[in-house]
């Protein structure tokens, strides 16, 4: 009887239980059940979170883009109808002209009447636009005048109550005078 195995439900020293007529069953602990069978490194990237982020960004940009579009409302003067050429300028239009002075500065005129400085321009435009319902001014500038001078005159006009500013181009002037526009290229 010394060689007999115990038949009770006692635990064997290796953590396994012996039951009569059965194989040994290993006891699995909870921390061993969640461990992967092998611990090799993954060779591919999981792109699912990247796709989620890209879809969220796409939706955000689709919503924000229409709100971010801004434009500048400008009113360009229309050319005269074909049958009404050589008609005089309408008396209710105000034309601000900025031309190059012989000394290198800029000469500012309002309806062909010269203005000494920007303060006088401000007071004259306030007098003109104080009673007018149509607060539109047309700006005509020489291409040789520095851009900053033209912008300063337009800012003074805005401060004097002008709501809309139209631009008179050299091509429009040439068409009304019946001459060809000057060449725009500088290739001599």
Q: Tens digit of pLDDT for each residue in 66-115? A: 877 777 677 777 777 776 555 455 567 888 888 888 877 788 888 888 88
Task: Quote the CA–CA distance of 184 and 114 in Å, as a whole number.
Answer: 28
Q: Does the reported pTM lie above 0.75?
A: no
Nearest to 112 by CA among 93, 131, 127: 93
In which band, very low, low, confident or very high, does the pLDDT at 62 lie, cut at 50, 70 and 90?
A: very high
User: Which pLDDT does position 188 carry in this prediction?
Assistant: 39
Cross-strand bridge partners of residue 123: none
Q: Tens digit of pLDDT for each residue in 7-30? A: 555 555 555 555 566 666 666 666
Helices (H), 34-93: 48-68
Fold of 92-177: Nucleotidyltransferase; domain 5 (3.30.420)
Show me where the domains of the chain are located. 92-177
In which band, very low, low, confident or very high, does the pLDDT at 2 lie, cut at 50, 70 and 90?
A: low
The upper half-sphere exposure of residue 140, i.e. CA atoms within 13 Å in the direction of its Cβ, equals 17
Does 143 have pLDDT greater than 90?
no
Give how far Cα 158 sits from Cα of 35, 62, 129, Å.
Answer: 75, 35, 11
**What average pLDDT does the segment 42-47 reach?**
80
């Amino acid at each position: 009887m010394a060689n007999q195995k115990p038949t009770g439900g006692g635990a064997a020293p290796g953590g396994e239980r012996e039951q009569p007529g059965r194989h040994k069953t290993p006891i699995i602990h909870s921390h061993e059940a969640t461990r992967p069978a092998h611990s090799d490194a993954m060779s591919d990237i999981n792109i699912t979170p990247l796709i989620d982020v890209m879809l969220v960004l796409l939706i955000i940009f689709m919503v924000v883009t229409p709100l971010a579009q801004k434009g500048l409302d400008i009113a360009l003067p229309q050319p005269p109808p074909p049958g009404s050429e050589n008609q005089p300028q309408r008396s209710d239009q105000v034309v601000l002209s900025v031309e190059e002075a012989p000394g290198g500065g800029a000469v500012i005129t309002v309806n062909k009447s010269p203005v000494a400085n920007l303060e006088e321009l401000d007071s004259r435009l306030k007098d003109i636009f104080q009673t007018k319902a149509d607060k539109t001014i047309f700006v005509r500038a020489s291409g040789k005048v520095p851009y900053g001078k033209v912008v300063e005159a337009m800012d003074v006009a805005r401060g004097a109550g002008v709501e809309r500013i139209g631009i008179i181009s050299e091509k429009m002037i040439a068409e009304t005078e019946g001459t060809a526009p000057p060449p725009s290229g500088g290739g001599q």
